[in-house]
Amino acid sequence: MNWRSLAMGRARLLPSLMGVAFLLTATGCAGWREKVQPSTLSAKREDRAAEAVRNFEERRDAAQLEAALDRWNQGDSARAEAMLAAIIKRRPDYADARLRLAEILWSRSDAGAEPHLRAVLQTQPDRAEAHHALGLVLVGTGRSDEARQHLTKAAELEPDNEVYRQTCESLAVR
């Protein structure tokens, strides 16, 4: 083979290589990657997007809970109650919001506090604060036997909590 036939072969190959190069640049790297691994990349993107949404919602709910507690501390219990109810409506599993709403309700002797406390205990059975609060609600509604169980459980879960221990002991005296 002489140099002339080699040059002719390369000349015919060059347009083909240029066509391949054009296709790669026209579709771009992302287009190429999606053709190679579409499910892996889209799944990772979806996971990151879902995580970002969860993080945003958690921060929003915490900020709204804080705002509701500020309202309550300023003496605006009606507004605090409405804010907490909105949080719970959007996120029924938010135990801290349910606990605070139960506190507000019970502060005016509203027995509507009980279902919120029971909902917290259903998802977090070892939450001493919820056992204590439910025990107080039950004492207030005349159900001392069941109250004693919850107050005892609160004192067992947090044996160093003086308030829980004294509340439990005071009910035992009755």
CATH code of the domain covering residue 75: 1.25.40.10
Averaged over 80-104, what is the pLDDT? 94
Rounded CA separation 130/119 (Å): 10
Do the domain assignments include residue 53? yes
Share of the chain above pLDDT 90, in %: 54
Exposed, middle or buried, 171 (CB in 10 Å: 0-12/13-18/19+)?
A: middle
Q: Report which of residues 40 and 9 the model is more confident about.
A: 40
pLDDT in tens, 103-135: 999 999 888 999 999 999 999 999 999 999 999
* Alpha carbons 107 and 101: distance in angstroms, whole number: 10
Could you give the CA distance from residue 99 to residue 118 in angstroms, rounded to a whole number? Answer: 10
pTM over 0.75: no
Is there a domain that residue 116 lies in? yes
Contact, 116 vs 98, CB < 8 A?
yes
In a domain, 24, yes or no: no
Cα gap 146→163, rounded to integer Å: 19
| Segments forming the whole domain that contains residue 115 | 35-173
Report the domain count for the chain: 1
